[in-house]
């Protein structure tokens, strides 16, 4: 028996709160689990039509556009969603209104689908009727926990995206860095650039990169590491991890940029993943929001074990 799920031809009328989206982005959100390559192929081949006409991927959808979507085969393994995960995600919601939800993202779960990813935040929420239109406003790495915002409709996604892009969001992370911080509060102002030569995405400090600024405030100094609050003024890929590395104090548990010896020592203290938790978000969207997520039990255990050493 085939492991694919045939979806019949669909015709969708674009609503007012959906207009303005690029066609390719709209289809990515609608066809959860379908590879980008297939999405672009069905657009390029004319299988996707808007008002019975061929369009390009960058076409901006307009209100009352009639969108034709052909049958698409989706690998069920890519759409596999755990009922257990759905149940837990409902418990992790910190804030919810008509426009967005903020969840306390658990570690070890990707925020969106990809190769070999069976369960992710977006696909899981989309299995629930009330969240079928959710989209990401920002991202957290798979093993990072904490506050994650998801918009419930396109207009909210657009408005919140502008707030994030303008830098009008205060983002604080709880982290454990190797070594001793040079002061109670330091600023790390190093531009970052993505390395395109590697198969696995990575980032490094470069004067030709994009501006990135982080403020690191000491919470508690331990023998081999320090517990810190990190406020990021920009939201570059792997910003905290690379900024920590740039001051020779990589994040404990970071297997990409971290220190092997320190990571091994921290594993003895119970650290089984990167010590990075999106602790707080503060922003204005119709009103002021200050949202905090509790420190996860796995990270609290590590902190307790380090305190017992003193």
Task: Report pLDDT for 249.
Answer: 97
CA dihedral (285, 120, 33, 100) in degrees, to 10, reads -20
Task: Report pLDDT for 3.
Answer: 41
CA distances from 186 to 210, 216, 247 (A): 20, 5, 10
pLDDT-derived band at 112, boundaries 50, 70, 90: confident
Judge whether 105 and 151 are in contact, CB under 8 Å. Answer: no
Residue with tokens 């925020």: 111
Contacting residues for 49 by C-beta, under 8 A, at least 6 apart: 55, 67, 68
Q: How far is CA 139 from the centre of its chain?
A: 2
List residues with catalytic annotation.
141
Q: Could you tell me which residue, 41 or 37, shows the higher pLDDT?
A: 41
Task: Report pLDDT for 60.
Answer: 93
Residue 276's SS3 state is strand
- Of the candidates 155, 159, 137, which has an alpha carbon nearest to the alpha carbon of residue 61? 155
pLDDT-derived band at 284, boundaries 50, 70, 90: very high
At 225-242, the pLDDT tens digits run 999 999 999 989 999 999
Q: Distance (Å, rounded) from C-alpha 26 to C-alpha 14? A: 10
Full set of structural domains in the chain with CATH? 4-75 (3.10.290.10), 80-160 (3.30.2350.10), 168-307 (3.30.2350.10)
Kindly give the pairing relationship between strand 276-285 and strand 287-292: antiparallel
CA distances from 152 to 32, 61, 75 (A): 15, 18, 26
Residue 202's SS3 state is strand
Q: Distance (Å, rounded) from C-alpha 190 to C-alpha 35? A: 35
Percent of the chain with pLDDT over 90: 64
Provide the mean pLDDT of the chain: 87
**The pLDDT of residue 251 is above 90:** yes
Q: Distance (Å, rounded) from C-alpha 251 to C-alpha 225? A: 9
Q: What is the mean pLDDT of residues 173-199?
A: 91
- Of the candidates 177, 282, 283, 303, which has an alpha carbon nearest to the alpha carbon of residue 230? 177
**The pLDDT of residue 153 is above 50:** yes
Contacting residues for 170 by C-beta, under 8 A, at least 6 apart: 231, 280, 281, 282, 283
pTM: 0.74
pLDDT-derived band at 118, boundaries 50, 70, 90: low
């Amino acid at each position: 028996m085939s492991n694919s799920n045939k979806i019949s031809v669909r015709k969708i009328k674009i609503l007012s709160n959906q207009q303005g989206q690029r066609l390719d982005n709209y289809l990515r959100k609608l066809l959860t689990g379908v590879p980008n390559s297939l999405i672009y192929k069905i657009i390029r081949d004319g299988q996707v039509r808007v008002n019975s006409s061929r369009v390009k991927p960058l076409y901006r959808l307009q209100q009352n556009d009639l969108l034709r979507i052909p049958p698409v085969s989706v690998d069920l393994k890519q759409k596999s969603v755990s009922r257990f995960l759905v149940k837990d995600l409902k418990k992790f919601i910190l804030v919810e209104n008509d426009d967005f939800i903020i969840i306390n993202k658990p570690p070890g779960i990707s925020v969106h689908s990809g190769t070999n990813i069976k369960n992710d935040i977006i696909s899981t929420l989309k299995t629930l009727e009330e969240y079928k239109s959710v989209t990401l406003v920002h991202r957290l790495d798979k093993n990072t926990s904490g506050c994650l915002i998801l918009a419930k409709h396109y207009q909210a996604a657009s408005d919140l995206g502008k707030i994030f892009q303008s830098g009008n969001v205060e983002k604080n992370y709880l982290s454990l860095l190797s070594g001793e911080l040079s002061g109670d509060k330091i600023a790390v102002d190093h531009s970052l650039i993505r390395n395109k030569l590697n198969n696995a995405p990575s980032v490094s400090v470069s004067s030709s990169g994009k501006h990135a600024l982080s403020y690191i405030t000491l919470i508690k100094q331990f023998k081999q590491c320090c517990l810190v609050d990190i406020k990021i003024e920009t939201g570059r890929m792997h910003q905290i991890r690379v900024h920590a590395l740039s001051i020779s104090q990589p994040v404990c548990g970071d297997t990409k940029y971290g220190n092997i010896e320190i990571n091994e020592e921290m594993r003895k203290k119970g650290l089984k993943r990167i010590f990075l938790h999106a602790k707080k978000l503060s922003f204005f969207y119709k009103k002021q929001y200050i949202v905090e997520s509790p420190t996860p039990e796995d990270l609290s255990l590590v902190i307790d074990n380090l305190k017992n050493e003193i």
